[in-house]
Structures are given as structure tokens and as C-alpha cells.
């Protein structure tokens, strides 16, 4: 059996992603892990942090089959467009960030990597560079030719997937269609089975409106859209409970008997998850033909180069990617 191998993208070069990669090098990994970034960037950041990390050069044609020794990090050198100062954004390096993601994503598609783990990017500076970019999730969907993907965050004892992701709130209700619900729920169910090894996953579904619409008095989306879609999915054998009021769904009474929650929009489900496990959570893109996980936090520009960063979320992202790739 061919050994597993993973790609790591540090994201925004002025943020804490390079710091996280260097700190990670002090800990042995079970599989080869290749940082796709600028060797010069890591060298400069290591000096700034006072870290002794040996950078081991690799190329697409000579990728490692064995994990790097502790204190070492494999690097697939990707040139910067401009020098980097920790904590200071530079739009000139927007295309550099896109190139690292492209190399990792295509590497997963062609079998060089069994999964990719991403550190945070800065969406604003990428767009300022003239590259339309709404997030890792959407970018990787386009790169892999995937029509529909699902964003899911997970921490100890809780998984939350989203029907809609990065939309203005006023557009959410119109975006929640029966067709979209069917696609998202099917992807969530399939990946819980095939990538997380859950034979019969149970999914709780949030309503869109307060009190799940209060029988139509607080909105009809539950009656007209959500309930018919859930009925069709149940007929397909998917175990769904809901729609339930979101303000009571996130309680032990319900959560102790489920494997995932399907929330209607970003700020309905993610504040609860991040309150429960911020810094120890992982972002997973479901529906892709590849494994992709990410940290649950942003670029933290104010902490870049200070040594005051926590690798907890990156550790969870790594171990989740490993587990997903190991699932038969």
C-alpha cells in the first residue's frame, strides 16, 4: 500500500500561518507533511521567532515517503512576489497564496497527496490583488470541478455543517431552496459515512426562522421548503430530525443523540461551535473528491512573528485529515 502523504499551505504570508508551520516542525508526524510555501519566508520567520528548524527541499517529482524527523519540515518552494513583513499585508503576494492552494489541490487530485491542510488566508488582500476569492471552500470547489460542496466545522462532541456559507444575511432565505437542501444533506450524509466511518449518521436540522417558524406565524420557509425536502431525504433512508428551533437544538438533550447538526446559515451554527471549541476546532470541506481540512481561526496579523500563537487548531486539522484519509 502506497504511504499516505499530505500538503500543508501556510495561507497569508504576513499572518501566523508560517509561524504555525515552523512550530509544528518540532513535533513528529505520522505521515510525510509537505509545506507548500516560500523557503525564504520560512527561513526569515524562523530567525524572527528564534526557532531552529531544518527545511528539507522537495519537488513534485521527488516527494517524501517517510515523515520528516522532529525539528525538520519538508518544503516545496513557492516563490513570493514581494518581501514579507510579519503583520503587514501586501496585495502583491495575493497570487502567491493562490499558487500554493493550486499546487496543493492539484497535487491531491493527481495522487501526490492524500489530503491538504490549510492555514488561514486573508480574503480581502487577495481580492485587492485583483483575484476574485470568497474563501477556500469555494476556490477548491472550482479547482476540482465540484458543483456543490459543504462547509463543516467540528470540535469535541459537535459537528456543524452549513446549508449556506458566505452570504449577506438578507440573501440567505432566498438561497435556501429545496434543491439546495437536498444536495447539501446528501453530501453531509455521504461524507459522514465514507470519510468519517459512521454507518448510520443521525443529523439534526435547524429551522431558518425563530422557533422554526412557529407554525408559519414567523415565516413559512420551514413549511414550504425545509419540511418537504427533509421528507424526501428520509424516504431515501437518511436519518434526519427537524427542523428544530436553533435556540434549543444546541442543548445536551438533542446533541448527545446526534452525529452532526445542519444549520441554515453561517452565524446560526458557527458561533455555538466556536464558543464550545475555539482554538481546538477544524474546518472540513465536504463533497470534494479530495480531503481538505483547515484551522478554525483567522490570520491573526497582530500575533505574526511574536511566538504567541497556539497550534491547537492546526493539530486538530492535521489529525482530522489523517483520520479521513485512513477511513476505508
Which region holds residue 46: left if phi is over 0, alpha if psi is between -120 and 50, else beta?
alpha
Q: Classify residue 127 by its DSSP letter.
A: H
Q: Which residues are annotated as a binding site for a divalent metal cation?
A: 166, 211, 266
Cβ pair 325, 115 in contact under 8 A: yes
Q: Annotated binding site for substrate: which residue ranges?
A: 136-137, 274, 283, 292
Say how far apart CA 262 and CA 233 lie, in whole Å.
13
What's the order of all strands across the beta sheet hosting 292-294? 54-58, 72-77, 33-37, 6-9, 115-118, 292-294, 282-286, 150-155, 158-162, 260-263, 202-206, 239-244
How many whole angstroms separate alpha carbon 184 and alpha carbon 164?
9
Beta bridge partners of 292: 116
Q: How many of the other CB atoms lie within 10 Å of CB of 35? A: 33
**Alpha helices, DSSP H only, in the chain?**
17-24, 39-49, 94-109, 123-128, 136-144, 172-175, 178-194, 221, 227-235, 246-249, 252-255, 266-277, 312-326
Binding site: which residues? 136-137, 166, 211, 266, 274, 283, 292
Amino acid at each position: 500500500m502506497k504511504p499516505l502523504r499530505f500538503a500543508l499551505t501556510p495561507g497569508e504570508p504576513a499572518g501566523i500561518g508560517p509561524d504555525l508551520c515552523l512550530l509544528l516542525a518540532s513535533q513528529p508526524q505520522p505521515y510525510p507533511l509537505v509545506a507548500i510555501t516560500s523557503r525564504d519566508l520560512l527561513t526569515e520567520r524562523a530567525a524572527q521567532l528564534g526557532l531552529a528548524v531544518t527545511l528539507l527541499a522537495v519537488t513534485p517529482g521527488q516527494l517524501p515517503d517517510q515523515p520528516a524527523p522532529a525539528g525538520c519540515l519538508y518544503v516545496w518552494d513557492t516563490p513570493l512576489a514581494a518581501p514579507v513583513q510579519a503583520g503587514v499585508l501586501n496585495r502583491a503576494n495575493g497570487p502567491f497564496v493562490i499558487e500554493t492552494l493550486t499546487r496543493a489541490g492539484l497535487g491531491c487530485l493527481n495522487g501526490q497527496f492524500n489530503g491538504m491542510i490549510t492555514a488561514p488566508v486573508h480574503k480581502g488582500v487577495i481580492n485587492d490583488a485583483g483575484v476574485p476569492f470568497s474563501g477556500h471552500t469555494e476556490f477548491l470547489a472550482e479547482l476540482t470541478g465540484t458543483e456543490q460542496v459543504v462547509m463543516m466545522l467540528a470540535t469535541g462532541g459537535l459537528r456543524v455543517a452549513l446549508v449556506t456559507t458566505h452570504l449577506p444575511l438578507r440573501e440567505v432565505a432566498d438561497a435556501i431552496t429545496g434543491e439546495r437542501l437536498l444536495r447539501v444533506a446528501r453530501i453531509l450524509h455521504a461524507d459522514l459515512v465514507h470519510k468519517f466511518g459512521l454507518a448510520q449518521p443521525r443529523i439534526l436540522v435547524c429551522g431558518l426562522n425563530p422557533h422554526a417558524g412557529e407554525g408559519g406565524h414567523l415565516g413559512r420557509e420551514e413549511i414550504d421548503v425545509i419540511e418537504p425536502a427533509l421528507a424526501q431525504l428520509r424516504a431515501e433512508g437518511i436519518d434526519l430530525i427537524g427542523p428544530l428551533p436553533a435556540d434549543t437544538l444546541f442543548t445536551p438533550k438533542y446533541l448527545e443523540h446526534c452525529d452532526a447538526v445542519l444549520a441554515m446559515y453561517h452565524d446560526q451554527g458557527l458561533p455555538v461551535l466556536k464558543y464550545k471549541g475555539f482554538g481546538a476546532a477544524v474546518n472540513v470541506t465536504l463533497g470534494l473528491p479530495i480531503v481538505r481540512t483547515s484551522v478554525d481561526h483567522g490570520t491573526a496579523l497582530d500575533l505574526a512573528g511574536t511566538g504567541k500563537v497556539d497550534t491547537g487548531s492546526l493539530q486538530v486539522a492535521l489529525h482530522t485529515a489523517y483520520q479521513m484519509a485512513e477511513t476505508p
